[in-house]
Structure 1
């Protein structure tokens, strides 16, 4: 059954910015988050507690959180890779965290230096401690439709990883087509496998637009019952481990898609496009969103 309202998770301030060449100041990152909230987003990834040596774009995430109203109805989840990251996130007042696993061993080894199974073992105490502290936990699964090193990824392998994160206690599992090779048929095959392990109501779609298929994949997943989708303002981002991979599907394109379907998102498209041009100017690039370019503010 298709949903009459969908939840759009804005990942630009984390997943988008961490893959951009320009590193923004804390003030600029906070301004981006604030503008996205004013456009209507109720869940906005605020940053990541990762090594600043590896991902300098996410340095000072604690300062970003300190500048936000963490008691507001808006959720500001942050990514944590390990117990050290969780400690830092909790000290900064985070109420929601996310952990990141892959459906490809090679990708996992090149990304975080451990196999899939070892990454899941690493996350077990992190998730348990976060839940004990009253935090919400989201689980990401990358490479659900393909891997830059291994090629095809078996949907059952995706289901195994998603199921493991669900059993740990993650309240939502985001399925990521990291290199954007998915098509509606491959995404539906993944959903068919994963739904045996995780309720469809707890799944989210996270689709990159490398081959221009992201919106089509979102539509297919929505028709299959998924009602939460990740988007990145102006199509920010990419994947440093996947050569040529484009950013996440642009949030503007998602809002336009669902508007045409008569599905409510709660996001003001005009204000969102203004944010897209504002952040793109600071990054020295044009918005990747076709909708933003078509409806460019004058």
Structure 2
């Protein structure tokens, strides 16, 4: 039975778009329910400027509690710059995601830097913290709301650049849900074939109802780590039309039914999603949330 590792990013990607502040207690309760369902990889927050994303102003507290509470779970956080990495490491988080966009326009909108500036700062991060586990989130891999769709060669060329500076873990992100299964298979198969030593992940949005099929296409092309959010909550706040992530409970249901090994108990995960849905108002794309039995 093939193992598929589910990386739950809802406490970051799901919560970041919610305007009303979610209490730290509620955030921790949702994370605890996810953990008790058997999820072993959870991105719990992001270390960003709270003026840009006020929802993450309690990042330090959330990170420290989770790091202390879950010794058997890979707890991670997203960071857009060196200062964020400094803050995350100070809070005890050494599994980090660092985001750069394939799109120059989206990178400027998202982190207010050119791609070259982001890469230069990433090199500083890798030099300062050589022992951290860093995943490079390559935003807009499958298309950009400002610049359109990229060719497979364009994606591979940028991956070349990332690998050349020492990146060892790359997350291919469908930031606004523009991907299709053929495109996912082509890109994933190309990068895995060229760089078998790199750990590739995928993060697919469900904006156009393609989340599950595109994620499955990535898995069939060789991906073993997939990101999703509880309830399908969230989307990029700096990408127009990016509402809706792939729902973790929908994804786990599909994979479990297909005899993949997720290690996750679906009934407990669904209970976690329904708790979140009850406690937090937001844009949910999950289907099982509305099925009574």
Shared topology, TM-score over 0.5? yes
Q: Which residue of 2 aligns with 1:104?
A: 103
CA distance in structure 2 between the aligned counterparts of 1:114 and 1:37, rounded to whole angstroms: 35
CA contact (8 A) 1:139 1:174 kept: yes
Q: Residues of 2 paired with 1:130 and 1:16: CA distance?
A: 28
Among candidates 16, 19, 27, match of residue 18 of structure 1: 16
CA-to-partner distance for each residue in 1:120-142, whole Å, 9 max, x for gaps?
Answer: 111111123222xx321111001
1:89 maps to which residue?
Answer: 88
Residue segments in structure 2 that go unaligned for 5+ positions in a row: none
CA-based RMSD: 1.9
CA drift of 1:23 comes to: 2.1
Which residue does 1:293 correspond to in 2? 290
SS of 2:242's partner is coil
Q: Distance in 2 between matches of 1:198 and 1:56?
A: 38
Q: 1:260 aligns with which of 257, 262, 267?
A: 257
Distance 1:135 1:112 in 2: 21
Q: Call closer, same or farther: CA 1:216–1:201 in 2, change over 3 Å.
A: farther
**1:200-255 C-alpha deviation (Å, 9 max, x unpaired):** 76111100001111111111111111111001000010122222222220001110
Aligned 8 A contact 2:204 2:227 in 1: yes
In 2, Cα distance between the equivalents of 1:163 and 1:21? 38
Q: Deviations over 1:108-165 (max 9, x none)?
A: 111112222221111111123222xx32111100111110001112222322333333
Contact 2:244-2:284 at 8 Å conserved across structures:
no
TM-score (norm 1): 0.92
Q: 1:147 aligns with which of 118, 128, 144?
A: 144
> In the alignment, which residue of structure 1 is the partner of 2:245?
248
Q: How does 1:1-298 map to 2 (within 5 A)?
A: 4-70=2-68, 72-131=71-130, 134-199=131-196, 202-285=199-282, 287-294=284-291, 296=292
Distance in structure 1 (CA, Å) of the matches to 2:261 and 2:7:
14
CA distance in 2, matches of 1:46, 1:127: 22
Q: When the two structures are aligned, how many residues end up with a matched partner?
A: 292
Instruction: Mark the CA change 1:165 to 1:25 in structure 2 (over 3 Å): closer, same or farther.
Output: farther
Q: CA deviation at 1:196?
A: 5.0
In 2, Cα distance between the equivalents of 1:41 and 1:170? 25
What residue ranges of structure 1 are gaps of 5+ in the alignment?
none
